[in-house]
Structure 1
Amino acid sequence: MRTLNQQMRTLNQQMRTLNQQMRTLNQQMRTPNQQMRSPNITLERGN
Structure 2
Amino acid sequence: MAESALSELDPEEVLQYYAPEDRLKGLDSATIEAWLVKQRRDH
TM range (shorter): 0.3 to 0.5
Q: 1 or 2, which has the higher helix percentage?
A: 1
TM-score by length of 1: 0.33
RCO (CA 8 Å, sep 6+): is it higher in 1 or 2?
2
TM-score by length of 2: 0.36
